[in-house]
Chain A
């Protein structure tokens, strides 16, 4: 009786095992064939002349863009617009995500998010955007007249294709010392990657004492 039960259980398990083999094989093959096509961002090093234009922040204060960027060693610049639904919320959320890491550098950093749609993005709309992403004390949102914004875009080689802002690319620019060149990141850069880029650039800057061009690949 006991033997019969044992054989039955053994046979059953074998049968189930045989049936499960193709299932696991299929899962394994499928997983192995999955195409991981997450796009990495591209990085390159450039010297840009910061445009001497007047922009307006969310508190309706007029600022000189070049002077503000030059105020601190670490400057991060990105572009977005408040009604953008796809990439801009991700760009902004990534900047916010990088903040805890950036704060470790003390208060030596400034982050600027420049509007690509300045006539729609009035200071009032920028304030709404600040509240939505809780950026008020850490990220300076900027708008201004069309020509001033276009000067910034031209200076950073960030003019969107087809004269249509809907074609804009996600771009982030990092500079870790006033005499350093800019690191240009093309694509969506996660908060942790952004913090890592700043960290690595800072190490490089302190090592080279701001005098040489960092390599594109460290």
Chain B
């Protein structure tokens, strides 16, 4: 037996050995080159190469298909995963799955130390789960059978997929490109951020925003210098992750009067010095051109101080907003009118010729058409203060006492309250947006400098005046210690908040400077960052882009007319 074994002729048995090797390596040769575009479609939409939704089995055999079975739902667009509901979703971007797992605590620093998760999550994050780099073959096993190349079985949250070899190869091709190149706007020393200013902005508002932002950048960089100089200090734990720290550099992108060329101007700025994110920003008119630029460039754009955010974009994209602006106020007003006691049967809606006038007026007409078919609405544009005054006098003289009067105007127009006082309309209910009154208040706690008409109704998407907000004291203290006087509380507080969310979000990135990952971190962080109180609360979720979703309706105090009372509690239209 032994002898015969020794004398086996290689030539005679070559086919057997070849067959054996082929058998053992079957899983390797079975996977051909995948198609990246089809892999992306599978990752983001759960559609297989045959155009049909893919199928996966979740906990207890629950079937998920198509959009409910996408990788994107848990691992997110960046592939960096995250933490939700006490479950840790590990990163699957190219630098993670095609490299052996490494015991680098920085990769899990956020999940391990910076999140208020439960004990189950903490235990999971601290499991080393060492494994070799994935191959297409082991990726297939992971997707179909739910275990990594070392044999560790995945958590029950990860479904088991029914994918054929071509789908696996396509997905592997896409994963090999996912978050591979660091996003523009970051170099070895600096993280570049920008803010946008357009002409015709009130100089005080402009100074309020820019001074706060500059003070924040100085403070941030000084702290970083201090940490570097005192690495052994306990406070400077950030120096353990020195490779991920960057000084901030703020770029102020000043646009000119020609709104139709804003896009070209922004592209020029971005070419000259790419930035990683855009923060705050003040423009005259609609934010839509800038929002379009941010979406096309995949540039996260945090919290512009605008009354006219991009329309019809509440989810997805790269622009985050405090509220839906005047569109929200029109929706609050229509919800208020729905339940208003002694509601007039007809309304006269007056608006100026700016977007601030036209857009909410048009929104309100649409709302009333669909919700209050019985309410008559007459909408008229006015050219200037004198025309508005004469229309209002006509309304009084024609005894149209039963009509409610709604006025929409540009925030730059300071004349409306004066006109209302001069015309002395007392019987008809008046409805105006918050900006007409808000700008009279340097501090939200102060009484108003003028008496308001008693029949005025103000849609109010902010916190109530005189509301106690603990975090506001912290921010005011920060400003005092930086030598910043409070000139415009709203703009300064919100400018601070925008910078603070950027700091909290980038802190979680470590050296993974990818814009999609930043977007996901912002979605996660806004509820945890201290809210300076201009709005009552902030909330986002995956793909949500508007943080505050409702508002009050206020009326002047009946006695003093210089403070505001609640006419309708928080309405989420």
Contacts and interface: CB of A to CB of B under 8 A. Distances in A.
Given A37-B152, A90-B58, A93-B64, A188 B157 contact: yes
Contacts of A90: 58-59, 62, 157
Contacts of B13: 12, 15
Given A12-B13, A15-B13, A30-B151, A166 B83 contact: yes
B549 A94 contact: no
Contact of B62 (A7, A8, A94): A94
A161 B115 CA distance: 9
Contacts of B198: none
Nearest to B12: A8
Interface stretch (A62-70, A79-87, A102-110): A79-87
Given A34-B151, A87-B85, A190-B59, A162 B115 contact: yes
Given A83-B541, A165-B541, A35 B524 contact: no
Contacts of B549: 119-120
Give the interface size bracket for B toward A. Answer: 35 or more
B60 A163 contact: no
A72 B68 CA distance: 32
Most buried by A among B62, B84, B85, B151: B85
A162 B528 contact: yes
B16 A85 contact: no
Contact of A85 (B156, B542, B572): B542
Interface string A190-211: 1111000000000000000000
Contacts of B550: 119
A11 interface: yes
Interface stretch (B116-124, B220-228, B260-268): B116-124
Contacts of A61: none
Contacts of A117: 539, 541
B74 A83 contact: no
B113 to A, nearest CB: 13
B85 A168 contact: yes
A30 B543 CA distance: 40
A160 to B, nearest CB: 8
A135 interface: no
Contact of B85 (A88, A96, A146, A163): A88
Which secondary structure dominates chain A's binding surface?
Answer: helix
Contact of A84 (B156, B528, B541): B541
Q: How large is the interface on A (under 10, 10 to 19, 20 to 34, 35 or more residues)?
A: 35 or more
Contacts of B570: 145-146
B380 to A, nearest CB: 32
B5 interface: yes
Interface of B: 1, 4-5, 8, 12-13, 16, 20, 24, 58-62, 64, 68, 72-74, 76, 82-87, 89, 115-118, 120, 127, 147, 151-153, 155-157, 315, 523-524, 527-528, 537, 539, 541-544, 549-550, 570, 572
Given A7-B4, A165-B539, 17 more contacts: A12-B8, A12-B16, A15-B5, A30-B151, A84-B84, A85-B72, A86-B157, A90-B59, A97-B60, A117-B539, A117-B541, A119-B539, A161-B118, A162-B116, A190-B60, A190-B61, A192-B60
Interface of A: 7-8, 11-12, 14-16, 19-20, 23, 30-31, 33-39, 81, 83-90, 93-94, 96-97, 117-120, 122, 132, 145-146, 161-170, 187-188, 190-193
